[in-house]
Amino acid sequence: MEKNNLSIKRKDGSFLARIFSVQEAGILVPLILLIVIFSCLNSGFYSLPNIFSVLKTLAFYGIVAVGMTLLIIGGDIDISVGSTAGFAAVFSTFIMMQFNCFGMLDTPNEWIGVFICMIITLGICSLVGILNAFLIVDFKLPAFIATIATLYVVRGAIMVVTNGNPIYPLPKFFMDDIGRFQIPITKVGEELIGISLPIIVFIVLVIVFEIVLRRTKFGRNVYATGSNIEVAKLAGINTRRVRYINFIITAMLAALSGMLVAAFTRQGYPPIGQGWEMQIIAAAAVGGIAMTGGSGSMIGTLLGVLIMNIVNNGLVMMNIDTFVQQAVQGVIILVAVYVDIVRRNRKVHV
Amino acid sequence: MAQFVLEARNITKDFPGVRALNNVTLSVEKGEILGLIGENGAGKSTILKIINGIYKTGTFEGKIFINGLEVVLHSPHDALIKGIGFVPQEINVMEDLTVAENIFVGHLTEEKTSFAKQSQIIKRAAEFLKENKINLNSKTRVKMLSIGQKQLLMIARALSWDPHILILDEPTTALALDDVDNLFEIVLQLKQNGKSIIFVTHKLEEITRLTDRVTILRDGTNIATYPREEYNEGRIVTDMVGRTITSMYPSRSVKIGEELLRVEGLTVAHPKIKNKNLIENVSFSLKKGEVLGLAGLVGAGRTETLSTLFGQYPLTAGKIIIEGRQINIKSESDAIKHGLCLVTEDRKANGLLMLANIKHNIVVTNLKKILNGFFISRKKENEVANNYMSKLSIKAPGTQTMVVNLSGGNQQKVVISKSLNTDPKILLLDEPTKGIDVGSKNEIYNLINILAGMGISIIMVSSELPELLAMCDRFIILAHGTTVGELEKSEATQETVMVKCFA
Amino acid sequence: MSNPELTSAKAGKTALRYIKKIFELQEVYILIPLLALIGIASIFNAGFWDGTNISTIFRRMSMWGLIAVGETLIILIGEIDISVGAMVAFVGVFFSVAFAIWHLPLILAILLAVLLAVVLSAINGFCIVKLKISAFITTIAMLYICKGLAKAMTSARPVPILSEPGAEGFLSIGQSEPLSLSWEFFLFIAVIIVFQIILRKTAYGRKIYATGDNKNVARLAGIKVDRIKISTFLISGVFIGISGVFMIAKEAVGNANFADGLELSVIAATAIGGISLVGGSGTMIGTLIGVIMMQSVSNILILLSVNQHLQSVLLGIIMVLSVIVDVQRRNKLLGKLD
């Protein structure tokens, strides 16, 4: 067997080796290191409540990151996801309360109304994805221009609708059954610790999309489109459809996450989503997703999201200023992307 | 008409202001290799784009028949499905994916199942490659392949659709000689398997060697088609050009002076591959007013040597000595300062500023010349630009014409003007007549002679051996990145040069 | 005997030729929507033509117009910097802290602030040019770094500088209104003129256009592309520094939330002004027109009492439209490359 640094080594039969490629294994190392370092610096770090709390927070980003990963592999990017999440949070709760869940508020059938509102929101937010795709794919605008514009437009729309005021209170089903849903694991003191809904959704999404990427023709088409769009087109792949789908999925997942945050925080809070794009791009970069498209995987994103949030959490526990954290995230992006670039350009043994 | 596997009948295509094709009929018999030859602007690429669906049915007059049945082509992919395979001239592959994935890209859409296992794809690709005698490993990541191998990959990709007819557009441009032989074998094999081939080239030797018939286009018209028995090089060239070219390569009186440049032991590490050198121990000398030819197969290191002289790669070892003094060339501007200038192979990517006009392009290489103190003098700028416009007979309404609007030959003349504007002592020419019509080629050969006569030394790289042999006074042969031999003009023939190339 | 009609026609023709000489054709095209906009504004609210209103527009646009000059250079060479807003805020905050909290002498605080801007911009340039990280990623990262550091430095609270000795002279420069304009305005206009000349008539200008057009070709022509690129970031840094200091001179307080969303206006202005976002074409006069337009739009929206949040929506839409026009124009030009 030829030794080839850049190819994915797969030994048939080894389960772990099937899931993690060499590149992704390389990310596991810093992850484990970080966990160890932070546990040492901080006794509270390794406690169960902390772990599950970190997991829940990261799941919100993770859900959006799944969509973003798909998009970046396909050769595009969308920095308006945070605005979309915020919009979904505000819009869904707005119509929930405005129409009293279509008359079902505070009734046993409340859940129907809630779900209808959520589905409507998903639909509306997919329009944001369509708009982005329209500007970038059809009008060929540079992705960052189009999505910066969308970012501001949607953010502005949120403000216009709410005037900065959060939407509160919300239907009980939404707040309690969705927001507080968890599969209980154990009890620590008086607190019930469990796997909450966002975590479940995140993990399911990662698995589903990893399968899509690796095993379906759509997944292959995404890699092809991101790798060399001209060749993909000439081979008959409908790259326009691929890219549109990616943008729509990204917007819908952002919407889903925004709504889950609203459920969890028990209000439709307008600033939801601000700054998310940074976290998510950082997670993708750390997770080995090439910003130029054509390579990467969901597992990588999973690891990247883990790392970013562990860093955040660790810094918080060390009482480091939130704002310094923001700066640290910026630095992490630069380092991660640079490392990725170096790795890609590394001299290879032939 | 059932004997023709493909027929493009009475094709007329207009663009705003110009008729690109005028009632052209192109037909290919089953199991034949048809050569298609013509100057730039003759309509070759237009007819190809029509046949392979880039210009879809409806954008031109005329009909296309496959095996006697009329077809409508909506897109390149449509043409592919209907049995027309096309391998374009430029290398265009997916670098991050494997050979197998590149071959199968797009096929999965046709299959029923949504699922595609990685290992299956690799196995199927390996079988396919073996069947077609294409020497590629289906697991290799395409990034690692050589240019010749990438081209083989593109052919494999087209073949994977099992086309009736395969169109190869100037396929040997980037290939090394053994790759060319390999390609010819594959083409002949395909013919044996009953496939038909349109082989587009501007090299007469390939027409003579490989094709069963040849169709010649000129100015958008089908001039003639000859079967193999009637091949006559002179007549084909006349047909292409429309006039008799008595001497393809103009002669000159040679005035060679003292040694101007000497390189000793030039070695450059490969920027991407460890423990490998781009060029190794390259040594030769160059005299004033001499035209030196760098011969060698593709991959031998000729372009790399020129690029190194021009400061594009850092030297790992070796010396560059100009007029007796050793100098350090660390960047392009250093090289220009020492009197070297490079005319690159690919004028669109590397030669011209596409957003600018002729004037701006020419003067940018020597801005100091047109300055009046701090500011650019419009008068001086116009003088310089007009000077080159007339000296090189660049055909354009004026120096403010945008270079995008020029023909290939005139664009190349602007590129050469840019280099001449640096007042070089040594001109490095990398494939100076690639992709240029015969008429302009002739003008460039004359120009080379004039420049050499003026005392400018020239190092020339060309894949067309006849051109190299005719124009140069002396030859340095490279192989595997190093100098392997030297021949004087009197000793150099195609055979003697080729023998050394394989050293 | 000279025919008066003929002479006036001739005069008109020569006048047009002069106008065309001063502006490139593309700039004339941009002037049209600007004039249309002003026309519409006058209809809806006569207050637009009020002398004080016009001065307000000119004063306000100078506050960020200087930054647009730097950004124009960066976009001309084919890159982009979306951290400018956060950088200005950070520089302003740094200056306020240096002056009012660390009690450094005024001149030193100013110099350090400008130096900070240059250093930050240089880091952008370094990452983009030498480390080859894409401009988008680099400057987004820098945006967050600056935002975070600005907030951290001030613990998210504004830093007033009124009480400092020496502040008065400083503030008077920032807040005075010579000719009912501002010192910044004159600086801005001067810079625009100087850089327009530099771009069109100096070797450096040519090198910038060449680099933005095709950096390989520029390199082969002997242009030191890396140096040119980094120089634009350094120049931009200087302007960001000066703007940041002026901003504090005007507001008398340093606040991490200043200049939020500035990058949008800046990039929109350059897009409107005809600077192609892919690089290689555009002029400073174009930027000037773009800046005037953006500020006028903002001004009109305020006069019409449009919801403040709606403004950012409109800005986004305007930016997208200008870029669409630019992309179409460029494709048409280069479409001939088929």
β-partners of residue B341 are: B427
Distance of residue B126 Cα from the nearest chain A Cα, in angstroms? 15
**Which of A79, A81, A145, A161 to probe the C interface (max C CBs under 10 A)?**
A145
Mean pLDDT of C107-115: 93
Per the model's pLDDT, the better-predicted residue between B2 and A316 turns out to be: A316
**Number of domains composing chain A:** 1
C288 CB-near residues (< 8 Å, 6+ apart): C65, C192, C273
Using DSSP bridges, classify how beta strands B61-66 and B165-169 pair: parallel, antiparallel or unpaired.
Answer: unpaired
Q: What strands, in cross-sheet order, belong to the sheet with B221-227? A: B84-87, B165-169, B196-200, B33-38, B213-218, B221-227
Burial class of residue B16 in the structure, from the number of CB atoms within 10 Å of its CB (0-12 exposed, 13-18 middle, 19+ buried)? exposed
Q: For residue B92, give the chain A residue with the closest CA.
A: A231
Q: How many CA atoms lie within 13 A of C66 on its CB side?
A: 25
Confidence at residue C17, expressed as pLDDT on a 0 to 100 scale:
62
Out of C197, C214, C333, name the one closest to residue B353 (CB): C214
Q: Is the pLDDT of residue A347 over 70?
A: no
User: Can you give the pLDDT at residue B16?
Assistant: 67
Please give the residue of chain A at the shortest CA–CA distance from B158: A235
Contacts C139 to A, Cβ<8 Å? none
The answer to whether the Cβ–Cβ distance between B405 and C336 falls below 8 Å is: yes
What span, in angstroms and rounded, lies between the C-alpha atoms of C41 and C34? 11
Q: Which chains touch C (3 or more CB pairs under 8 A)?
A: A, B
The whole-angstrom separation of Cα C20 and Cα C29 is: 11
> Which of B335, B350, B367 faces C216 most closely, judged by CB atoms?
B350
Indicate whether A264 belongs to any domain.
yes
Do the domain assignments include residue A346?
Answer: no
- Are A218 and B274 in contact (CB < 8 Å)? no
Please tell me the distance from the alpha carbon of residue B364 to that of residue B370, in angstroms, as a whole number: 10
Instruction: Please judge whether C141 and A146 are an interchain contact, meaning their C-beta atoms are less than 8 angstroms apart.
Output: no
- ipTM summary value: 0.78
The answer to whether the beta carbons of residues B412 and B440 sit under 8 Å apart is: yes
pLDDT of residue A12: 40
Tell whether A339 is covered by a domain: no
Cβ of residue A91 closer than 8 Å to a chain B Cβ: no
Q: Does C274 touch chain B (CB under 8 A)?
A: no
Q: How confident is the model at residue C14 (pLDDT cuts 50, 70, 90)?
A: low
**Nearest residue in C to B407, CA atom:** C337
Of C201, C207, C337, the CB nearest to B375: C201
Biggest CA pair distance of chain C = 80
Flag if A234 and B109 touch (Cβ within 8 Å). Answer: no
The more confidently predicted of residues C6 and C105 is C105
Q: Residue C298: its pLDDT value, please?
A: 82
Give the whole-angstrom CA distance, residue A316 versus residue C135.
30
Residue of A234, A340, A343, A346 to mutate when probing chain B, most B C-beta within 10 A? A234
Which helix H or strand E contains B87, and what residues bound it? strand B84-87
- For residue A192, give how far its alpha carbon lies from the nearest alpha carbon of chain C (Å): 35
**pLDDT tens for residues C248-305?**
888 877 787 777 778 878 888 888 777 887 778 888 888 888 888 888 888 877 877 7
For A104-154, the pLDDT digits (tens) are 667 777 778 888 888 999 999 999 999 999 999 998 888 878 888 898 889
Subunits next to B (3 or more Cβ pairs <8 Å) are A, C
| Among C202, C219, C333, beta carbon nearest to B376 | C202
Distance from CA of C145 to the nearest CA of A (A): 4
A-C Cβ pairs (cutoff 8 Å, strict): 130
- B-chain residues within 8 Å CB-CB of A232? 94, 105-106
Interface residue A343 vs chain B (CB under 8 A): no
Question: Is the per-residue pLDDT at C139 higher than 70?
Answer: yes
* Interface with chain C: mutation pick from B333, B355, B378, highest number of C CBs within 10 Å: B355
Residues of C in contact with A327 (CB under 8 A): 144-149, 152
Inform me whether the C-beta atom of residue A15 falls under 8 Å from chain C C-beta atoms: no
**pLDDT at position C200 over 50:** yes
Q: Which chain A residues touch C131 with a CB distance below 8 Å? A: 338, 341
Average pLDDT over residues A149-173: 83
Determine, for residues B376 and C336 on separate chains, whether the beta-carbon distance falls below 8 Å. no
Quick check: A326 contacting C, CB < 8 Å? yes
**The whole model's pTM is what?**
0.79
DSSP-derived secondary structure letter, A94: H
Measure in Å the smallest separation between the Cα of C53 and chain A Cα atoms: 26
On whether residue A203 sits in a domain, the answer given is yes
Average pLDDT, chain B: 85
Using alpha carbons only, what angle is made at residue B347 by residues B382 and B349, rounded to the nearest 5 degrees?
A: 110
| Choice between A6 and C93, residue whose per-residue pLDDT is larger | C93
Residue A62 lies in a domain: yes
User: Rounded CA gap, A229 and C283, in Å?
Assistant: 33
Q: Which residues of B touch A (CB under 8 A)?
A: 76-77, 80-81, 92-98, 101-102, 104-109, 111, 114-119, 137, 139-141, 143-144, 157, 270-276
Cis amide bond preceding A171, omega within 30: no
Average pLDDT over residues B351-363: 90
Q: Say which range, A83-97, B166-180, B230-244, has the weakest mean pLDDT.
A: B230-244
* Residue A242: per-residue pLDDT: 95
Question: Is A112 contained in some domain?
Answer: yes
Q: Are residues A235 and B106, on separate chains, in Cβ contact within 8 Å?
A: yes
Structural domains of chain B, ranges and CATH numbers in brackets: 1-83+163-246 (3.40.50.300), 94-161 (no CATH), 289-315+325-501 (3.40.50.300)
Which domain covers residue A185, as residue numbers? 47-274
